Amino acid sequence: MTNRFSTKLPTLLRINRYSSYENFQHIQRLKLGALQPVRFTSTSSKLSYYFHEKTGFSKTSRLMESASTIDDIFSEDNRIAVQNKPIKELIHTLIVYRLCSFQWLVNRSPGLISFAEKAGLSAPIYWLIKRTFFAQFCGGETAEQCIDSMSQLKTHGIGLILDLSIEADINENGSLSLNESRNIEADHVSRSMAKCITTAASQPNSFVALKLTGLSNPTILRYWTLTLNSLSKSFDKFDINKDGKLERSDFLKFVYELFGNDKENVVKTLFDHADENKEGLIDKVEFINMLSLDNKYSRSLLICNEDFHLKQEDFEDYDKMMDRLKELCELARIKNVRLMIDAEQTYFQPAIDDVAMKLSAKYNKSDNKNGPIIFNTYQMYLKDSTERLMRNYNLSNRKQFVFAAKIVRGAYLYSERKRAKEMGYPDPIHDTIENTHAAYEFAVEFLLNKLSEAQKTFDKQLDISNSPVVFMVASHNKRSIIRALRQMMDLDISTKSGLVLFGQLLGMCDTITYTLGKYECGVYKYVPYGKINEVIPYLIRRAQENSFILEGIKEESQCLWKEIIN
């Protein structure tokens, strides 16, 4: 890359000439507080950046490094992800990408795999999957088998998100595909997750991904989601004044209607405990917390309403799940490993969010010098995602814990839409991809602005020990990555601060990942592992996602092919 510097320029502008991938031009001022600008221009992508001489060496250096990162991501000649890989590996990746481009194959793969398993043909099918999709997107069958991948990534400045890819779901008729031994299985998963945390701890600043359906009897997540949705609607109904508050009399009416008129003692105890400011009023946050499954008094109410489907054994399942999670959180705290709670299907997600916020309040204390431990995931393809993100951010401010998040577009598009259509409820996913992009970009910009506001308040660069916000831009979309980097430049947020991280999945979009790693931008690879039959749902979603982002696959394939023929 060739760079030119000049100090004699008539205007103070940064000129961004986007590639055809973004299909628009953008001119924006950099407000750096001086009159005499310095220009940094890359001749390969024709990107120009204008900085002030009075900006200072360290800040100018950060800005130019961010500009170089953007330029390398743009560059069609970027070989950083492929230049050291053997031909065999390049060809293998190209073949897998090609298979992902066959939409008919991707759409039929769940049915084909299910048919093969029922017909006793799982062995040849698993053999084929293991040598194609599994080899591309998974680190191995055990945590120990992922160590080689971890070491290779580390040499390129890439961090680790280690994931034991075990999850549970509901089957087509809506019943849970589990039996009475589910808690025994969840205990086994918990022990395996402890090994996963220990393995990840060998590489500093690593993450471990958790799927709550794998650590629980998902019945409780399903029923608690239904209950949370119902409680939210009930609050709105009994909020007569529409001021976001319930008086004691309003709460009493709510209890009488849903649980009967013989609960006055419980009502008094719950309301007095929830009314933190002793105003005789409670808001929705206090209302939901008051009726939480953690509250022994609320359980006696919740079990009375058959519409909630909650039974005594569900409370016991919830307690067991929370015990497993607390043990894993304590181990992660001791080992200095961060836990990333994965998003799952919408019929589990409100319960998962509720658990994630409770764990965040305990383990993301603002005085933790190593930063937050719990990261919750937000799928921005969901219509309610923006509201949930902002609500949970406000909750973190209110409860004085660090808001830590992973921002993704979403991974269950096909199954969510199929289920919504079959069961006759509104599609929870944005109607257009443009709406999803807009929601994603808003989420990133919202959190970046909150970081910037905090920096201005403290009048210094924040780091992992004192920031109220830490989040990961988890995306395979080149435009989203570049947009985030440019916004960080504008807001003077360092890419090396550890406050804004980037993430991609193993086997996907390596050019972006390796470029970010080269410039120490806090980038991570999500490395799943597990037995073939356990990771099939994950692999199907990866194939579907790759078929959905064909433009990105096309660019990666061109890069691979160019390297092979050269």
pLDDT digits 0-9 by tens, 458-489: 888 888 989 999 999 999 998 999 999 999 99
CA distance 439 to 388: 12
CA distance 527 to 139: 6
Token pair, residue 565, equals 């023929």
Bigger pLDDT: 541 vs 551: 541
Please name the helix (run of DSSP H) or strand (run of DSSP E) that holds residue 454, with its range, or none.
helix 433-458
Lowest-pLDDT choice from 24-33, 515-524, 543-552 = 24-33
For residue 325, count other CB atoms closer than 10 A to its CB: 23
Half-sphere exposure (Cβ direction) of 527: Cα atoms closer than 13 Å: 30
CA distance 390 to 373: 20
* Cβ pair 86, 62 in contact under 8 A: no
pLDDT band at 426 (very low <50, low <70, confident <90, very high): very high
Token pair, residue 217, equals 């009897």
What's the confidence (pLDDT) of residue 279? 87
Left if phi > 0, otherwise alpha if psi is -120 to 50, otherwise beta: which for 371?
Answer: left
pLDDT band at 284 (very low <50, low <70, confident <90, very high): very high
Q: Give 311-342 as a 3 state SS string.
A: CHHHHHHHHHHHHHHHHHHHHHHHHCCEEEEC
Q: Would you say residue 398 has pLDDT above 80?
A: yes
pLDDT band at 75 (very low <50, low <70, confident <90, very high): low
Residue type, 249: S
* Cβ pair 371, 465 in contact under 8 A: yes
Q: Would you say residue 541 has pLDDT above 50?
A: yes
Lowest-pLDDT choice from 52-56, 361-365, 381-385 = 52-56
What's the confidence (pLDDT) of residue 553? 63
Q: Would you say residue 438 has pLDDT above 90?
A: yes
User: Could you tell me the maximum CA-CA distance found in the chain, to the nearest angstrom?
Assistant: 81
What's the confidence (pLDDT) of residue 62? 58
Report the side by side order of strands in the sheet with 3-6: 3-6, 37-42, 47-52, 14-17, 25-28
CA distance 20 to 267: 62
* Cβ pair 146, 535 in contact under 8 A: no
Kindly report the backbone phi and psi dihedral angles of residue 557, in degrees, each rounded to the nearest multiple of 5, phi listed first.
Answer: -65, -40
The pTM for the full model equals 0.84
What's the confidence (pLDDT) of residue 451? 95
> By three-state DSSP, how is residue 358 classified?
helix
Q: Would you say residue 394 has pLDDT above 90?
A: yes
Burial zone of 243 (CB within 10 Å; 0-12 exposed, 13-18 middle, 19+ buried): exposed
Please name the helix (run of DSSP H) or strand (run of DSSP E) that holds residue 542, with its range, or none.
helix 532-548
Lowest-pLDDT choice from 149-163, 255-269, 279-293, 546-560 = 546-560
Q: What residues form DSSP beta bridges with 38?
A: 51
CA distance 552 to 547: 10
* Cβ pair 142, 529 in contact under 8 A: yes
> By three-state DSSP, how is residue 303 classified?
coil
What's the confidence (pLDDT) of residue 52? 43
What's the confidence (pLDDT) of residue 551? 52
Residue type, 466: N
Please name the helix (run of DSSP H) or strand (run of DSSP E) that holds residue 257, with its range, or none.
helix 248-259
CA distance 388 to 400: 18
Cβ within 8 Å of residue 497, ≥6 positions away: 461, 462, 463, 464, 467, 522
Cβ within 8 Å of residue 237, ≥6 positions away: none
Residue type, 301: L
What does the pLDDT look like over 329-373, one tens digit per residue?
999 999 999 999 999 999 999 999 999 999 999 999 988 889 999
What does the pLDDT look like over 400-413, one tens digit per residue?
999 999 999 998 88
What does the pLDDT look like over 103-147, one tens digit per residue?
777 777 878 888 888 888 888 888 988 888 888 889 999 999 999
Q: What residues form DSSP beta bridges with 528?
A: 163
* Cβ pair 221, 186 in contact under 8 A: no
CA distances from 64 to 40, 52, 67, 103, 514 (A): 7, 12, 5, 41, 18
Cβ within 8 Å of residue 566, ≥6 positions away: none
Please name the helix (run of DSSP H) or strand (run of DSSP E) that holds residue 457, with its range, or none.
helix 433-458
β-strand pairing of 37-42 with 47-52: antiparallel
Q: What residues form DSSP beta bridges with 500?
A: 471
CA distance 504 to 154: 15
CA distance 347 to 224: 10
Burial zone of 164 (CB within 10 Å; 0-12 exposed, 13-18 middle, 19+ buried): buried
Left if phi > 0, otherwise alpha if psi is -120 to 50, otherwise beta: which for 244?
Answer: left
